[in-house]
Structure 1
Amino acid sequence: MKHYRIIGENNWFIRLLIPYVLIVILALSTGGMIYQQTLSLVGEEARNNNMHMLEQVRSTLDGRLAEIDTMVTQVANDPKLVQLQKIKEPFEHTNTFKLLAARKSLYNFSVSNTFILDYLVVYRNSDVVIAPSLLYKSDAFYELILNYDKLSYEQWHRVFFEENCCKRFLPAMQAIYKNKSRSIVTYSYPLGSSPIAAQGSVVVLIDNEQVNQLLKGLAADHNGWAYIADENGNVISSIGDYIEFDPNFLDNSSDFIPPSAQTNGNMITHIRSDENGWYYVLAQSPHIVLEKVDYIKRITISMAIVFLIMGMILAYLFTVRNSRKVSNVLENNLTLQEEIKNQEPFLLSSFIERLLNGDIVSGSMMESMMKHLHLPPHISFVATAIVHIHPMNGSEEHRLKDLDRLRVLLKGVHRSCKIASVHFYDAAEDTLVLLFMEHHADPNECVFKMERTFEMMTNLTASEPNVSVNIAVGGIYAMLIDVSRSYGEAKQALNYLNRQQQQGIKWFHELPDLSDTHYYPNEIENQLMNNAKAGNFDEVEMLLDNIYDENFRKRNVSPSIQKLLLYEMAGSLLKLKEQLSLEDEMHVHTLLHQMIDMDNTVEVFRFMRQRYTWISKQLLLRKKSRNVQLMENIQQYIQYHYGNPNLNLDTIADHVGISRVYLSKFFKEQTNTNFSDYLESLRMEKACAMLRETEITVSEITRQSGYSSTNTFSRAFKRIHGINPTMYRDNFSE
């Protein structure tokens, strides 16, 4: 009541409070303006980002579809495939041979587009389906190779064998293709140059999962969705629970449609392809976009509250200081004493922190602080313990709430069991430090109190689901100045529990003897670096497991020795970075800072393992890229020189600069066939084409195909095809 009387008797409080209230109002007004401006800018930024992402997806898909169109046009206009449209009895006379030859010719069309699962040619008159690796009648093909979940055989046959041939896309449907469940977008293109006269179609099976991968990068939140529709508004591919819009509505709307009942509360962004007229539509929940704005709003409100509180406190302090009445001075003294009393928990926490860190070395300073905090002056028993709390699952917000709740429960243990000699210190969100201090007490009784405290804590957390607690106890000493020593021993015990992946209570005196050396010999370092440079992922993992077992499980290595090991391993990483010219994504400097700031060396080692794994994978990718380039050079050389009778492994090895033995092994690994068989197959393919399409003599074909004599060529031809070259040419001329 005296405080209220002081404020009522003079107007200093109100006079000083008014300017601060005005400042708060000004700050709130400025914050409101910033909020509105930010809302507009963030909304515009979101629209631009969405439009940019949609344009990237559209550009990628247009490019892929253009590649497919180019390949399909080549297949549809291939004379060998077009002439088979007239065949009605595919398995009579030489028709079977023609079909087989046509199937083989499909291999000539290179397919490097990852969107394509396979491509087929269907013939109406003969009711046949051919592909590079198969030849079936339509019913057998539908039963054994490809069947759609939502199409019966009759419906499928009607679409591809009975209706008019035209260029069209079928929306994504689930299907069983070659005994695997797939989501497929089907593209049909008429065979030949005249769609009206076409009696067959080229059918491309497009992997809808590849299309969905593009869309998943757009709809990031769980309420978002996206779809692609053709020029008529038919949805080709989609993700999420989408709302299908009429094409006329999209054409008559701007690229950005704000949230409304028609959009189910989502923000809609859409574009249309200039290549094929397809629509690309993206929906995003507004709260994702406004998250940044809400953050600024919270900051503004928090600042306003802080300013208001500071203004009231300063106004009150100035009022008390400038008051001329003695009673105000007395009240100020009482207020100051009450404030000091309120600050005692914070002062005690600061005192414990300095004890743990070993910052107090003066006996007089220690006695003064203990007297001020009303602690007993003469301590004969001190010990520390670290309680580490592990919430097993849940979001970060729930995890923090659980940690706060558990810390409160654990701090209440000493009150429930009436132990007044334990003090708590919050070392981290998930870590409590317990400081036991006794004045003229029996050590055995003190140890009993500690054990009772730990038992109460473990019983308390045992009833908590998905929570585990580790308790590490340092040594027991008789002087308060040894608190930092006990704390260091407790950290060693906790580090040991983490390394061994154990749970429970661990006393420092229970630890095995410390090892003064770590395990990282030069030969292990060389093996680790060499295997990483070679991209041998499994070997690198095995070596790292061995290093971890030796230094973190089999040996009780002190944290300082463990950090020395980690510094040496970081040095190995820096050597690799310089030798391999790797970029800064290795984060080696970040790793070094972590080793300085973190006490958990197990976590640092885990990060070190990730860096070595990243290096191995990067170099493995480089190795694969070099192999692809080498194989392309070899195949190109063979294509240019297959007509040379002297072409062999030696000449190719000299050309590409590798040994003959390595070339033979490499060629076998890449093609699954040996070099001689591959060369003979290529020469026979070229010879067959010349026999069918030209009138040059067999002897000239022999020379151009790379054979040294006509007899050798004829024997090889008959061995492979069952007939001699002349008969083969006669069959085609008939």
Structure 2
Amino acid sequence: MSRHSKIFRSFMISYIVILIIPSLAGYMSYRTSIAVTQSVSIENSVTQLQKSQQMLERRMAEVEGFSRQLALNQDLYVLMNEKKGTDDGNVYGIWKIMKEVMVFGQTNDFLKNYYIYLRNYNVVLTPGSAYFRPEHYYENDHYTEMDLGQWQSEVLDKTHSREILPLKPFMMNGSQTSVISYMQSLPLDSFGEQPPAAVVVLIDQKTIASLLSGVMDRYGGWTYVSNEAGDAISLNGIGESDIKTMNADSAFDKSKQSQFFKDDLVITIRSDSTGWIYRAGIPRKTLMENANRIKYITWSVTGGALAIGLIAGWFLSVRNSAPINRLLGIVREQFGKDAPIGRNAYDFLQGNIATIITSNRELEQELNRQVPLIRDAFLKRLIAGEFQTREEIQAAAAQADTGLALQEGFVGILHVHGYAGLDTVEILNELSAARLLLKQSLREVDTRILMTDFGSDRVVAIFPTGEGEEASGIAGRSGIQALLEPFAAFMFGEYKITVTGSLGDHFASDMEVSRSFEQAKETMAYADYMQRKGFLWFADIRQESTTYYYPLDMELRLISTVRAGEEEEAKRIVQSVLQQNTEERELSPEMANQLVGELKGTLLKLLDQKAFSESERFEEAKQHIMDIQLTGSIDAIRSELHGIIEAMCRMIANKKNDLHIKTVEAIKQFVAERYSDAELTLYRIAEQAERPEKYISQLFKEVTGTNLSDHLEKVRMDHAAAMLQDKSLTVDEIAVRVGYNSAHSFRRAFKRVMGVAPSAYRQSLD
């Protein structure tokens, strides 16, 4: 610590300054807040209650507006004045009214529970249902102090004009609550004993109380609302008996806006529009002692914050200076430089890090410069069929940054004419320029086309086709033909370069690119021999041969794909071989039998390898291969070959699964043995397993369903929980024993995994 004291002191002084500045500002704010708090507490309480009053009256006005809108609703007017027939009535009209009034409750929570009673239909309409008997509605929702008859006579059969029923107990959807009821007969000018319709809005006492909760949330206490007759509209935090006691007390002046009654400051507001009385009671202690509490708490918090801030500053200074010191040591070691650590330490780091960044940029530029060469090498290997599996192709394509996935397409060879037999330096330079012009112009036509040189006067072009095109390539062929013919005309008209081409058949997988390339070469040789110009397709030179098509590279790819467990790719290769020998060639029965024998031989050679010979199904698969005979249709043979490939790929998958499980178990064993090592990282585990880090992480997740880092943390926490039973060990000692350099990090990890802090867990054991 003495060697790095200047860095430590610079951090510590910074933290102390940061602590002092807000402390001074906080003290000034505290003095101001004390004075303001004492003077405005009562005023704020009155204002808060007035706001709650305005909100409540505004909502009640919206409820009254709702009843007026219903009175003006033509559909409802027609419905409540028409006579009910012998059938169930105007069901559509009832449904339409329900749909129209359902939206009102979305803007005002006072309108969430209401019902409309239509006397002629004897139906009760609610936002979600229609009850064709009032007693059905009464079964779900009713006043607990009213029976069915009282409810019908007092609410449904009686004329109401903006009448509000005071707070009453109510059973709503099976739960007990209290509501006030706004009642209005329809139409509005109804004066008869039994109006045609009535709308009743049920306003839950809890909803009203929520509008008055501002005072209670801020100060506690209680709120009370009553009508002019003194009937309760809302009670929250106080009983009705307490209200009656207060009103009967001679010491309580009902006309005062604010007064102290017993231990409460009682604020009273009377509404000019409704005549309702709003009262709020705020505990005297809460109201008047807030200022003193601020005073006491401020001094305590300030002193505690300074103490904690100094401790935290010391801890952060140590922690933040440590990595800088380590970084200085690493930089000096790597660059072989020695510099004073004092005030020049940051300059020393800045200079060396700038050097690292510059070197990294130079390396990145060099890599970018090499990308075209890597891409060209990748394309040459691809058309040559040097890749054995799709995974290998995908990895190489990503490295070459080809920019697209070769799912399907065509391979063509474009030939620049007019330079045959000429090998002078000038001609070769001109030919190189012609090839470059050809590739640039073709790339401008379609940026997806991949190209590489093939000899001095030829270019191989891979034409990817989009999704949805037929496997036969008809749509792709017509599109490529429409692209190449204008392109050839452009090259001749613009640069006087004559371009012809040959194209292979459609490939349905990146593993079949080499086959399409070989077909393009064969087509090019045919075109040269026959002196054909323009663009010629392999399908246009159908072969009639007495020999079958099954080249060595096709056999090697089939072996590689089966060994890799790539079932679909292996089936495509078999399909391609059979298609070449049935659709592109006319084989004699003897040649067909030899082809089947060759395919059987390939599968038998595969089966003799160790990956299959140790399987329990080895003999069954071998017999299945031996039983294949050219006695049925080609579809039957294809089905047999596909079945054998499926069985062999399942053997590979089972072997991989067993190997994966063994690898994961070895990882678990290594973690169990080395969990106490603070340097145990994913890199160390991958190094032990002799696999890449990304592979290890994905494999562990696939097999166990858990991230490797989570598993390591869980193992450490399980051992820590066991060690906490030994009270002779401190939490810091346990943190070190389970692989944590920081006790703070250990505590956070323990609480995240176990749900409680280590100290609380130890107490729970007692």
TM-score clears 0.5: no
Greater Rg over alpha carbons, structure? 2
Which bracket does the TM-score occupy, shorter chain normalised? 0.3 to 0.5
**TM-score for the superposition, normalised by structure 2:** 0.34
| TM-score normalised according to structure 1 size | 0.36
